[in-house]
Amino acid sequence: MASLVGKVAVITGGNSGIGLASAKLFAGQGARVVITGRRQQALDDAVRSIGPAATAIRGDVADPAHHREVARVIRERFGGADIYMANAGINTITVSDQVSEVEFDAQFSVNARGTFFGVQAIGPTLRDGGSIVLLGSLASDKVLEGHAVYAGTKAAIGAFARSWALEFKGRGIRVNILSPGPTETEILEKLGVPVEKRDAFTAMMAGTIPLGRLGQPEELARAALFLASDASSFITGINLRVDGGMALL
């Protein structure tokens, strides 16, 4: 039986990667899905791939006005939402002594600021008993070369989640973190890995993961569905690592 029938789910960065895989799975489970992103063409393509249950809103998660607009659309079109998945994020791998102010500000603006003001705006529109899923990262706990700034943004999300799990408890809204390990998404291109070096990079990363491979977006989406649905109805404030065991090494 579909587990999200009658639910409305909002997914930031839902036009690619883990966000898109989650949007497809949520829609397949009966939810009406609202995705956000910065690129209109990518949003249009994503809506076509998700199907008639999908709606897209273009905007920048670093801009609080965008989140207020999303909340307005949700109220007017659906009367409220049941699931909020703060998925949008960016990562630039740079060792600390070479990080520019622009690079630092960009990562904190999208990853930390975007998550905070997204939840602030959408919170009043969430129905009691809803679920908030925040995208964390293995990097917030495990030291990875060149990830100091990114790790800092994801550590902030961990702090947000712990606070929000208590702040929303009176409304029965659960707040949990989904922390992926290396996952085969478009982010490999954004990290600057050339196509001709993709296989070697993937093999190198797989060697650091006990299960011997990178994760697939669909696997992360299934974990997101668990946290978003009533299957996790007595779970709040956790950090669910979906990393193939990489945190153990």
The three-state secondary structure class of 16 is: coil
Q: What are phi and psi of 23, to 5 degrees?
A: -60, -40
> Which of 247, 87, 215, 98 has the alpha carbon at shortest distance from 154?
87
246 close to 181: Cβ distance less than 8 angstroms: yes
CATH code matching the domain that covers 8-180+218-241, chosen among 3.40.50.720, 3.40.50.300, 1.20.970.10, 3.30.420.40: 3.40.50.720
178 close to 132: Cβ distance less than 8 angstroms: no
pLDDT of 188 reads 62
Region 24-30: mean pLDDT is 98
Select the more confidently predicted residue: 232 or 199. 232
**Percent of the chain topping pLDDT 90:** 90
Of 20-24, 61-65, 193-197, where does mean pLDDT reach its minimum?
A: 193-197
The encoded tokens of residue 133 equal 């899923």
Of 14-18, 125-129, 201-205, where does mean pLDDT reach its minimum?
A: 201-205
CA distance 164 to 149: 23
CA distance 16 to 7: 21
The three-state secondary structure class of 56 is: strand
Residues whose CB falls within 8 Å of the CB of residue 47, separated by 6 or more in sequence, listed in order: 35, 54, 55, 56
Region 2-25: mean pLDDT is 97
Region 133-144: mean pLDDT is 95
68-110, pLDDT tens digit by residue? Answer: 999 999 999 999 999 999 999 999 999 999 999 999 999 999 9
Active site residues: 150
Confidence of residue 192 (pLDDT cuts 50, 70, 90): low
Q: Strand pairing partners for 248?
A: none
Ranges of CATH 3.40.50.720 domains, the chain: 8-180+218-241
pLDDT of 29 reads 98
pLDDT of residue 197 exceeding 80: no
